[in-house]
Structure 1
Amino acid sequence: MYGIGEAAIYLGVPRSTLSTWVRGQRVRGETRMRPLIKADRETGLLSFNNVAESYVLASLTRKFDLPLQRVRAALKSIGGERPLLTTVFRTDGRGIYVEKMGALVDAARGDQAAMREVIESSLERVELDDRDLPLRLYPWRREPTEPRIIALDPRRSFGRPTVAGSAVQIGVIFDRYQAGDSVSGLAADYALSRDVIEGVLRWGFDAAKAA
């Protein structure tokens, strides 16, 4: 399970943005916007599936200025109780999602081709199980086409960020670097390339700024 602040850091979105997606928006006690992501009712924490749903939204909103009310309307037109989870990841549902979101981009005078590329590249970074539900996620920080260095996997390290293909936590490497260990030394200790270590450190510095 993930707190909103923690998940926001992993996804590279402002905490306030993720909070609005999860909790909705109330002004003077009046509901102005209902939640888009259904977190645990008792704890308010996010499941891994919630994080994957949030990742889908984050992938678009980080690149395109889309009004949230229009995003909500587009998702509603797709159908289903949780279209971000039950439809978007399926091959047959992806085209519907691209079409609906493409209409939003057109309305905002954006670039639909660029939007399609962002969606496709972002969804390719989600590994699915045999039920087409998220199994593992490779969140991106700057571009959806960047190397898959960081992984979120609920079966490893309690779902905290690890080096892809291993159980090595990103925070451990970052803390060691901050304490004075060199890139070469870390690469040797963990049998990883310098490029991977440098990618981990970039991710760590970005996450630290967002914290």
Structure 2
Amino acid sequence: MLLQGYLLSVLDYFGSACKQETHGISCDCQMSDPQSQCRIKSCENGESCQGRDIDAPAFECLISDIPVHIGKPVPKLRFNLEAALNFSDPREIPAYSVPTAAHYLQMPVATLRSWVLGRSYKTQDGAKRFRPIVDLHNKNVPLLSFYNLCEAHVLSVLRKHHQIDLGHIRKAIGFVRKEFGWERPLIQQDFRISGAQLFVEHLGKYVDAAGGGQILLDGIEIYFQRFEWKDNLTSRLYPFTHQRAQESPKLVFIDPNFAFGRPALASMHIATAVIAERYKAGDSIDTLKKDYGCTRLEIEEGLRCELQIKVAA
């Protein structure tokens, strides 16, 4: 199951730097068409790649979130079994592209990309750099692990529902990490008991927490209710399927040990992507619930997870 899930991540991510081995992927090179610039989205410096000199290899561009040096060979991927086996815990395997993770978390792709890759921006004092707040296993490969996905879930709750500045959140996370020695404070089970109050108190140094501390603690409790645990770290995520978190039933889960880490129905462990494909092919909800022995609400939640209205990129 571990290798199958990892193979899926290879399909999810279709490139890496040439002659480089990363989390089980190594490269053989094939020369690319140097004139091809289609689907180029953005450069490392945040500006458009379109129209740039293709002989300038210093510009590293993202083509569908894949780093490719313009004018250099395009890598041909080869699966490396030995490197993949270095992961003893499937929760640590890089398996989700930025767009895929953003879709599951119902958040803008550009926002999540900034959180995991950072971004450059201009100010009156010159160019500045926003540092990533979610630490990837390999900074050269834009794939999130399950742990990263859960951390982004927590950050999304804090930003979307409480409008807390990420800089303040970063400082509070660092304080709690230093105080308790936790590598991943936001997805640590003990955070709920020992760390949350300290986290909120530290945030109060930077934001007006008067009267809002309990509201923030209640918000933290909401995201903790979407987790299940193993070895004191999150092992299963029930993503929000509604804009209002309180209205999202826990009928769909993401677990790296099931459906290759893709969303699945909690009751039957059926991948929601399978349900969505059948629905798009013409099967009715009544037919699907009969075939899978599920309730109508379960089928609707599975479809809602897969067929969400696209958020702005």
Fold equivalence (TM over 0.5): yes
Asked if 1:38 is matched to 2:135, the reply is yes
Structure 2 residues not aligned, in runs of 5+: 1-94
Asked if 1:172 is matched to 2:266, the reply is no
**CA-to-aligned-CA distance 1:50-85 (integer Å, 9 cap, x gap):** 111111101121212222222212222223454334
Question: What residue number does 2:299 align with?
Answer: 197
- Name the CA shift for 1:157/1:101 in 2 (closer, same or farther; >3 Å): farther
**CA-to-aligned-CA distance 1:81-114 (integer Å, 9 cap, x gap):** 543344774522233234444666635x895444
Asked if 1:117 is matched to 2:218, the reply is yes
**After alignment, is 75-84 or 2-11 more displaced?**
75-84
CA distance, structure 2, for counterparts of residue 23 and residue 184 of structure 1: 43
CA RMSD of aligned residues (A): 2.6
- Name the CA shift for 1:98/1:144 in 2 (closer, same or farther; >3 Å): farther
**Which has a greater percent of helix?**
1
**TM-score, length of structure 1 as denominator length:** 0.86
Question: What residue number does 2:152 align with?
Answer: 54
- Asked if structure 1 preserves the Cα contact closer than 8 Å seen for 2:190 and 2:232, the reply is no
Number of aligned residue pairs: 208
CA distance, structure 2, for counterparts of residue 77 and residue 17 of structure 1: 24
- Name the CA shift for 1:161/1:105 in 2 (closer, same or farther; >3 Å): farther
- Name the CA shift for 1:87/1:187 in 2 (closer, same or farther; >3 Å): closer
Amino acid at match of 2:106: G
Amino acid at match of 1:11: L
**TM-score, length of structure 2 as denominator length:** 0.60
Q: Give the percent of matched residue pairs that are identical in Structure 1 and Structure 2.
A: 37
- Asked if structure 2 preserves the Cα contact closer than 8 Å seen for 1:118 and 1:144, the reply is no
Is the partner of 1:139 in helix, strand or coil? coil
Amino acid at match of 2:285: V
Question: What residue number does 2:227 align with?
Answer: 126
Matches within 5 A, 1:134-145: 134-141=234-241, 142-145=243-246
